[in-house]
Amino acid sequence: MKLGLVGLPRAGKTTIFNALTGAGAETGGFTTRGRVNLRVVAVPDTRLEHLRTVYRPRRYTPATVEYADFAGVVSGERDAQYYAAVREVDAFVHVVRDFPSEAVEHPSGTVDPARDLEEILTEFLLVDLDAVQRRLERIGKGRTAREPERVEREQQLLEELRIALEAGRPTSAVALAPSDRDILSSFAFLTAKPYLVVSNLGENGAPTPLRGEHPAVIPIRGRLEEELCELEAGEREAFARDYGVTELAAARLVRESFRALDLIAFFTYGEDEVRAWTVRRGASAVEAAGRIHTDLARGFIRAEVTAYEAFRDAGSMKAVKEAGQLRLEGRDYVVEDGDLITIRFSV
Ligand SMILES: Nc1nc2c(ncn2[C@@H]2O[C@H](COP(=O)(O)OP(=O)(O)OP(=O)(O)O)[C@@H](O)[C@H]2O)c(=O)[nH]1
Ligand SMILES: [Mg+2]
């Protein structure tokens, strides 16, 4: 999972990036256009940590998330290279500035997160509209390499998207059949991607409400959490509590991102390895097996499944079995978030 931090210049993207990753990237300098900070970090998961303390495995493998911290979006600057990089993410984290500070200049002069978010979302609509129009022009001039029927369908779809975008609606609002999605996949439209909003709060402010409907708005005291991230893990919890931070930014953001992207985690366990795996919500047991190894999907016999909560409450896998809570499931079983799974297979 790759998440891209976007927003206006000096909204605090790099500050939030540091809070999420502990990367300690430089903040405050006006980031040059081509620069991207990248960091892969472990997905924090207290369930997996509990499994680790129980099994004391030789290998411990959490799921990972990659964060990309981009330079600020400047309306009207449609730099192709910049947007090629931005397009690669699975979802956006829109960082909006919600902290007052004399020391930090705001590109529009005043702090107004709702206006700033609208500016970025509008810019993304226009970037997509640009791409649609350019492609339609090429098709109009007959400059395409694809087969004629496919191009004809593509043209119809692009016309539909153009109408939506011109009316200020994102491409995600246009319902598409899987085959149509496939025709358009190479565009990687910005407005097709799920997003979250981080409202970057100052030291003690309450978040300013945003207009319109947004998937999830997560208030984060960016500067404070950046500093928390510099502390030793042991000290961090205590300091966080002192400041009234009940859950650290990294954990909240990943949780909401999983929800936005419709992803869930399941776990494999044993003395050899305790590991988290990511699958889309609705995945079957055989798909889950395939995430681990193609052999496990090919030779799939049964999945031994129990919910993490059942394991936690029972205290051990032995107790789970005795309580009759270790189920044998077939290939079509729909995996639940937090399932503990062992695949029985033969190849
Ligand atoms: N007071 C205060 N200052 C903050 C907060 N978050 C960020 N800043 C400051 O705002 C300035 C800009 O922060 P950055 O994280 O570099 O912002 P950015 O969005 O990455 O900026 P560009 O990459 O240049 O677009 C820095 O001086 C930060 O220390 C906050 O919560 N409170
Ligand atoms: Mg930055």
Q: How much is the pLDDT for 247?
A: 86
* Ligand 1 pocket mutation, candidates 32, 67, 104, criterion most atoms within 8 A of CB: 104
10 CA distance to ligand 1 middle (Å): 5
Q: How much is the pLDDT for 115?
A: 93
User: Residues enclosing ligand 1, CB less than 6 A?
Assistant: 7, 9-15, 27-28, 30-31, 71-72, 99, 101, 104, 200, 202, 221-223
The number of the ligand 1 atom at minimal distance from the alpha carbon of 29 is 24
- The model carries a pTM of 0.92
User: Which candidate, 293, 280, 275, places its Cα nearest to that of 341?
Assistant: 275
Q: What is the largest CA-CA distance in the chain?
A: 71
Residue identifier of the C-alpha nearest atom 13 of ligand 1: 12
Residue identifier of the C-alpha nearest atom 21 of ligand 1: 10
Give the chain's domains with CATH numbers: 282-345 (3.10.20.30)
38 CA distance to ligand 2 middle (Å): 12
Q: CB atoms < 10 A from the CB of 302, how many?
A: 16
CB 162 within 8 A of CB 59: no
CA 41 centroid distance within chain: 13
Average pLDDT, 10 consecutive residues per value, the chain (347 residues): 95 95 87 87 94 97 96 92 95 94 85 93 97 95 83 95 97 95 95 95 80 84 92 86 86 90 96 97 97 96 97 95 95 98 95
Q: Are strands 91-98 and 2-6 parallel, antiparallel or unpaired?
A: parallel
Angle at 206 between CA 202 and CA 209, to 5 degrees: 115
The number of the ligand 1 atom at minimal distance from the alpha carbon of 9 is 25
74 CA distance to ligand 2 middle (Å): 13
62 CA distance to ligand 2 middle (Å): 27
Q: How much is the pLDDT for 30?
A: 66
